[in-house]
Structures are given as structure tokens and as C-alpha cells.
Structure 1
Amino acid sequence: MLDLTPAFFAFAIPAVIFSGMSKGGFGGGAAFAASAILALYLPPPVALGLMLPLLMLMDVTALPGYWRRWSWGDAAPMLMGALPGVLLGAVLMKHADPDLFRLLIGVICIAFVAWRLAQGAGLIRLARIDRPHRGFAGASGMAVGFTSFISHAGGPPAAVYLLSRGLDKMTYQATTVLLFWAVNLMKVGFYAGAGVFSLSTLTADLILAPVAMLGVVIGIKAHKVVSEKLFFGITYTLLTFTGIRLIWVALA
């Protein structure tokens, strides 16, 4: 049961706006931050269930603009790999307690920041693959399915494969939009079966839907005036403190 109190909306509104900004103007890789921030206030499965319809709304809004501009040769094996990853996440959600989810989300937050900083510093360089590689794509897709299921954070494992393909910016973005639209659809039935949706979470989603769209619009406009360095600097700071806090709570 989710109490729709002023304290909840004080957490949820900034988190959802931030997620929309990431989706709308900064590649979407940090959109999972909203789930991590909400997991500080809510049980993690409730936070994940709350965010999924909002992320799907953002996906549906973005998909028409990238229609058929994706690389199906790369997307198809990733989607095939994503299904067992989603199934693994569903098994974990059924048997794990909330503290394990807090720990995993916290670790993913810290790992995401470390990976991006190492990539920016040139410590991680991905070898280019000239043609789609089914094995690599499938393994990446499985990681996408699992991390997306437990934290909505499938961006990094998707990027590991797609960046190695050297796709142009439009094809890369279109492929990620297609991938996460499909993966989020896979997750709906399992989330419903796990009982993470409720009348109160769906009511909150209806209230927050305009907030999510506002975040996307702000992101589109902010992309033109706010440097990626500033945006991701704020993102990394938020995720670092959020990750440390989630790990601390889980272990304590």
C-alpha cells in the first residue's frame, strides 16, 4: 500500500522530472535514478512498480520519432537474450527480501558511476565490431533484462554492446528506444504477478504522468542550454549518495 502523502510527492516529483529529463535530452542512461531515489522512501518493489508505467509512457512518446531507424540485426539478439534475464529477475523478486534489492540497486548505482567515469577518463575502450555478433548481443541482452527488471538500469549493459558496434547517433538512440520499449513490455506481466502494482501506485502514476512528460520537455530544452558535463555531474553525485545510502540501509 502506497500512501499518497505530501512527503511521498516531495520525493516522487523531482525524481520523475529528473528521469524525464534524462530520457528527453541526455540519452536516457540515467533515467533509472528515479527508481533508486524512490527506493530510499519506498520498499524497492513498490518503487519499481511505480516507475514502470511512467517509463513506458516515456518510451511510447519517444518511439514514433525513431520508427524503423533502429538496427534490427543488433536489437533482435539482444531482445532474445533479454527474456531469460527478465525471468531471472522475476525469480529473484519472488524470493528475495527488500534489503537484497536495496543492496543490488545501491551497487548498480555505484557501478554505473564508476563505469561512466572510467569511460570518460579513457580507462575503458570498447573494441569495434563491424557486424552484429549474436553471442555478444545475447549476453548483453540478458544483462539488460536482469538489471532492468531489478532496478530499471539496463542502460550500461546495452551500451557496452551497442557502443562497440560504432552505430551512428540516430541508429544507436533508435535501437535503445526500441530495446527498452520491448523489455519494459516483457516486465509488465511479471511485475503484476509479483503484486508490485496496486490501486494506489496506479493512482500515483496517473497524477505523475504529466510530471513525467514535463520532465521530457524540460530535458529536450535543457539539452540545448545545459552542458552534459553539468547534468551528468549532478547525476553522478545523486547516484553516489543514493547508492551509498541504499547499501548502508541494506547491510544495517
Structure 2
Amino acid sequence: MMTDPIFYAAAIPAVIMVGLSKGGFGGAMALMGVPLMALTISPVQAAAILLPILIVMDIVSLWTWRSHSDTRTLTVMVPGALIGIAIGWATAAWVTAPMIRLVVGAVALWFVWRYVVQRLADARNGGERQPHGHNTTRGMFWGTLAGFTSFVSHAGGPPYQIYALPLRQDPKTYTGTSVRFFAIINAIKLVPYFALGQFDATNLSTSLALAPLAPVATLAGAYIVRRMKPDVFYPFMYFMVLLAALKLIWDGAVHLMA
């Protein structure tokens, strides 16, 4: 088990922020986990330590949001996610996490910009844009990207949100569906992570030491989301996507320039 107190000074806030996100708070906080822990250890080891903790958070979130989900979203996105994980596994030796973060961050930034432009147009026209319907091709594409980026750097949130947020589901339905989607992804990721040798005794024991924080932070995030109205929830979620996009672009650019 890791014993360096400096590591835990970074890891404990990281786990808390990821837990709040897993509870339904969404956005940039989930992306802070690996970078914060990577201040003291390698990003690869940070991702390996965090994955079992994510599984614990998924279990808590699945129970918390057990009555809320949209089967259609899962039907169109999960097959793509499986393809994305397979691509991530097959290209693990060639594709770098900074490159992926930069690309995903740029796409997410464009997504938020499009949302802002649409809202301004709606305000001028005196109406509100109708929610998007499901589209299998779009769902497969963004599901594949979510699975791939989740495997490479635990950054699958923005691609999922690009497809799911325009559906404008009830906040509880949106959260419960995203919880199921990423629970499936994280469970499947265990197999290639084991195959790549990421789960040694040190990493697993460190995950176990940090795991008690997972349910507390996750339940706190769920408590907040349950009390948010849609007209507050959706602008907040787009703002969190903006923060996530900026964080991904910053991380990717800094590492690539270095």
C-alpha cells in the first residue's frame, strides 16, 4: 500500500470530487481524479488505483438511482462503448492520453458553444428548442468515443453528455441512465486492465484504503442532484461540460508541449 502522506493529500480530495460526480453532479470534477493523483504518482498508476474505487462508487450510484433510467439511451450507446473499449485496449501501446484529452476537450468546447448559440437564438425568437430524439448512428458514435476515452484516461463523460444532454431527460432519469452506462463501462474495463498488468498488490491495497470515501461522496452528490430543478440542472451541467472541456484541453496541450 502507498504510505506517502503527500500522495494521500492529493488522492483524498480526488476521490471526493470523483464521488460527487458519480452521485450525479457530473462534469469537470470527475476529470480531476487522475490529474490530481498524478501530481504524486504516474498517470497510469493513478488510473489503476482509481478504477476499483470507481466500481465501488458505481455500486452505490446504481442502488441510489435504481428507479431511474432510460433503456433506449443504453441500447444505442452501450454497443458503441464496447467497441470503444476494444479499440482502446488494442491501441494502448500507441495512443497517448494527452492526445485524446485534447481532442475530446475541443469537441466538448464546440458542443457548449453550439448550446450557447442555440439558447441565444431561442431567446431572440421567443421560443425554446425542442429536445432531440434518439438517433442510433449518433448514439453509436458518441458511445464508441465515450468507451474509448474512458478506457484511455477515465474521460468518457463529455462524449456521453454530447449525446445525452440534448435529449433533455428529467434530471433523475438522465443521472440514473448515465450511472448505468458508466457502471457497465467500468466493469468491462476491469478485464483489459488486468490483462495489461495494472492491478498489483500495491495499487489494489491503496484502492482499498481509499474506498471508504467512495460511498460518502457519491451519496452526497446524489443528495444535491435530487433537489435540482431541470431549469437549474441543465445550465449547470453545460457549465460543468465547459469546465471539463477547458481542463481536458489544458492537460492535453501541456503534456504534448512538454
TM-score between both structures, scaled by the size of structure 2:
0.78
Question: d(CA) in 2 for partners of 1:161 and 1:245?
Answer: 23
Note the residue ranges of structure 2 that are not aligned, 5 or more in a row: 122-128
Question: d(CA) in 2 for partners of 1:62 and 1:113?
Answer: 25
| Of 198, 205, 209, the match for 1:196 | 198
Matched residue of 1:30: which SS? helix
What is the CA-CA distance between 1:144 and the residue it aligns to? Answer: 0.9
Question: Could you tell me which residue of structure 2 aligns to residue 96 of structure 1?
Answer: 94
What is the CA-CA distance between 1:76 and the residue it aligns to? Answer: 1.5
C-alpha deviations, 1:190-214, integer Å up to 9, x for none?
Answer: 0111111111111111110112223
Question: d(CA) in 1 for partners of 2:5 and 2:241?
Answer: 24
2:94 is aligned with what amino acid?
A
Which aligned pairs between 1:141-220 and structure 2 lie closer than 5 A? Answer: 141-220=143-222
C-alpha deviations, 1:81-130, integer Å up to 9, x for none?
Answer: 1111001111222x138xx324434x268548735753674468997433
Question: Could you tell me which residue of structure 1 aligns to residue 125 of structure 2?
Answer: none
1:248 is aligned with what amino acid?
V
2:44 is aligned with what amino acid?
P
C-alpha deviations, 1:37-80, integer Å up to 9, x for none?
Answer: 22333222211111111111111101123335312122022111
Sort the Cα spacing of 1:108 and 1:199 in 2 relative to 1 into closer, same or farther, 3 A.
farther
Report % sequence identity.
29
* 1:53 aligns to 2:52 (yes or no): yes
**For the Cα contact (< 8 Å) 1:40–1:242, is it kept in 2?**
no
Which aligned pairs between 1:65-76 and structure 2 lie closer than 5 A? Answer: 65-67=64-66, 69-76=68-75
Sort the Cα spacing of 1:243 and 1:202 in 2 relative to 1 into closer, same or farther, 3 A.
farther
Matched residue of 1:41: which SS? coil
Matched residue of 2:206: which SS? helix
What is the CA-CA distance between 1:248 and the residue it aligns to? Answer: 2.7
Question: d(CA) in 2 for partners of 1:151 and 1:80?
Answer: 20
**For the Cα contact (< 8 Å) 1:48–1:151, is it kept in 2?**
yes
Question: d(CA) in 1 for partners of 2:211 and 2:245?
Answer: 23
What is the CA-CA distance between 1:221 and the residue it aligns to? Answer: 5.7
**For the Cα contact (< 8 Å) 1:4–1:200, is it kept in 2?**
no
**For the Cα contact (< 8 Å) 2:85–2:189, is it kept in 1?**
yes
Question: 72-81 or 115-124: which moved more?
Answer: 115-124
2:100 is aligned with what amino acid?
L
Matched residue of 1:248: which SS? helix
1:92 is aligned with what amino acid?
T
Sort the Cα spacing of 1:218 and 1:66 in 2 relative to 1 into closer, same or farther, 3 A.
closer
1:170 is aligned with what amino acid?
K
Note the residue ranges of structure 1 that are not aligned, 5 or more in a row: none
Question: Could you tell me which residue of structure 1 aligns to residue 141 of structure 2?
Answer: 139
Sort the Cα spacing of 1:111 and 1:33 in 2 relative to 1 into closer, same or farther, 3 A.
farther
TM-score between both structures, scaled by the size of structure 1:
0.80
Question: Could you tell me which residue of structure 2 aligns to residue 129 of structure 1?
Answer: 132
Question: 141-150 or 159-168: which moved more?
Answer: 159-168
